[in-house]
Chains A and B, each alone.
Chain A
Amino acid sequence: MSITHELMIAGFGGQGVLFAGKILSYAGLLAGKEVSWLPSYGPEMRGGTANINVMISDTMIGSPIIDNPTMLVAMNQPSLEKFEKDVKKDGIIIVDSTLIPIKVKRTDVKAFYIPSTKLAEDEGIKGLANMIMVGKITKELGIFDLEVVKVATSKSIPERKQDLLAYNLKAIEIGYNFIEG
């Protein structure tokens, strides 16, 4: 049976949710999957809400619009409050617990809490909470290797910014290896 992963990453504009989605789409492509990446954001560059719909599938993708994600990644409280109800039963919700003090109310989904924003600050890679999430998402999706995501990241960072690649890879590993405790 074909499986379609419907991933929604939501947060404030400027948190890098679109870029995080792009890395995961690219990884899907490199892993031989069908993918789509559909952004939704207001005209403002920063401060507004932004979310990204990423589909990764074994078969051709129909509509790229996600109404009911199999995985929701909430990087701010309004996003969790808005989209929690839409997540498919037995789906996954990943919460940035630095910025979101509340818990997932639903009991028919699997919830993960990761203080991505604080982890990024502690590790001296402030602003890369999105890439920590990419690591965590990779772990929980379990459809491609961490190595593929690293290649996707290296290919997505423009040449003039390649000096930032190491920080991004570090962030991905932090997210991938994070153990809730």
Chain B
Amino acid sequence: MAEKVLMKGNEAIAEAAIMAGCRHFFGYPITPQTELAAFMSKRLPKLGGTYLQAESEVAAINMVYGASAAGVRAMTSSSSPGLSLKSEGLSYLAGSDLPAVVVNIQRGGPGLGGIRPSQADYFHATRSTGHGDFHLIVLAPNTVQEMFDLTIEAFELADKYRVTAMILGDGMLGQVMEPVDISRAGNVKTFPKEWALTGTQGKRSKNIVNSLYLEAEELEMLNLKRYEKYAEVGKSARTDNYLTEDADVIVVAYGICARIAKNAINEARKNGVKAGLIRPVTLWPFPKEQMKAAAATAKAFVVVEMSMGQMVEDVELSIRCSRPVILCNRTGGMVPTNEAVISAIMEADRTERS
């Protein structure tokens, strides 16, 4: 076994990005993701890469646009308020079919909010990260190892589909230190970029990267085509399941909440309640089919999240409200306790089987 190293979640993302071949990072400091940018600022110049602290988040995302258009793997990272500022650029990236990797280490909101962990940007990440019809691929790690692994995958997916892939973490995952096996990076996949603006050398007709289409027919066609691509991406919705086979109560949680839920499920099982966990690894595409399949045998669902209840809507939609769904949540930077999750599981277990 390869030697493991102790790393913060933020550092693991940065290390993975470098291993994935990212040599262009554009950022603007914000707690609780700062270690990520700090790591990049130390490492990238030594590798002949570019670390650039932009004048704002808006500038940083547009620099990612430029670097991506030139065909390189580019990245930016921020925390919640910064992502609001990046929204416009993310829409432009989508409209131009440019690949990029964006990290959101969420903190409590709205507004400037606080610096404690949160999952209140779920809607922003999965529903409307900017104006217009588009989606990001949203990956939700729950360990430092996964922050490493999924970041590499994010670069691969972004290039494969020419979309932005987002790593959606939270302040706790960003700050926690755990052992990481970085040898897992293995062979990182790359994809040819014939569309990139690399200079024609007089050998081909010019490439254009653009998101302005004034002819409605043309724009509609592009959007329809883009959604065919999204439908393809949709097939790769993914979960990590724990003790779901015989579960009466299905807990749905992602990120740090999934780890709290796992502990609670173990406790509940000691008390004779058959509980299990479905942890969405991809938040977009949302694993609808996996939810539907679980609803066939479970009698109730519990959704644990650090927001006023956002992912809970996707769970209800996926199962067409066919089972009761209990929300167990905290917000503003607070984290659900083990006890609260256990009692939500107990409450769910008391519901009559319909």
Seen from chain A, the residues whose Cβ lies within 8 Å of a Cβ on chain B are 22, 25-26, 29, 34-39, 43, 61-65, 67
Contacts and interface: CB of A to CB of B under 8 A. Distances in A.
Contact of A39 (B31, B175, B256): B175
Given A26-B6, A43-B31, A67 B338 contact: yes
A26 B177 CA distance: 10
A35 B176 CA distance: 10
B6 A38 contact: no
A29 B263 contact: no
Contact of B175 (A22, A38, A63, A67): A38
Contacts of A29: 4, 6, 179
Interface in B161-189: 172, 175-179
A39 B172 CA distance: 8
A48 to B, nearest CB: 13
On chain B, which size bracket covers the interface?
10 to 19
Contact of B176 (A26, A36, A67): A36
Contact of B6 (A37, A39, A61, A64): A37
A180 B178 CA distance: 34
B265 to A, nearest CB: 9
B249 interface: no
Given A29-B4, A65-B335, 15 more contacts: A25-B177, A29-B6, A35-B6, A36-B176, A36-B177, A38-B175, A39-B175, A62-B259, A63-B259, A63-B263, A63-B338, A64-B176, A64-B178, A64-B259, A65-B260
Given A63-B259, A65-B335, A38 B179 contact: no
B297 to A, nearest CB: 24
Contacts of B177: 22, 25, 36-38
B279 interface: no
B266 interface: yes
Contact of B337 (A38, A39, A64, A67): A67
A88 to B, nearest CB: 14
A22 B172 CA distance: 16
B6 A25 contact: yes
A38 B262 CA distance: 18
A61 B263 CA distance: 9
A62 B262 CA distance: 7
Contacts of A61: 178
Contacts of B247: none
Nearest to A62: B263
B176 A38 contact: yes
B303 interface: no
A7 B257 CA distance: 21
Interface centre among B179, B335, B338, by most chain A C-beta atoms within 10 angstroms, is B179
B115 interface: yes
B256 A63 contact: yes
20 contacts: A25-B6, A26-B6, A29-B179, A35-B6, A37-B6, A38-B172, A39-B175, A43-B31, A61-B178, A62-B259, A62-B260, A62-B262, A62-B266, A63-B260, A64-B178, A64-B259, A65-B260, A65-B335, A67-B337, A67-B338
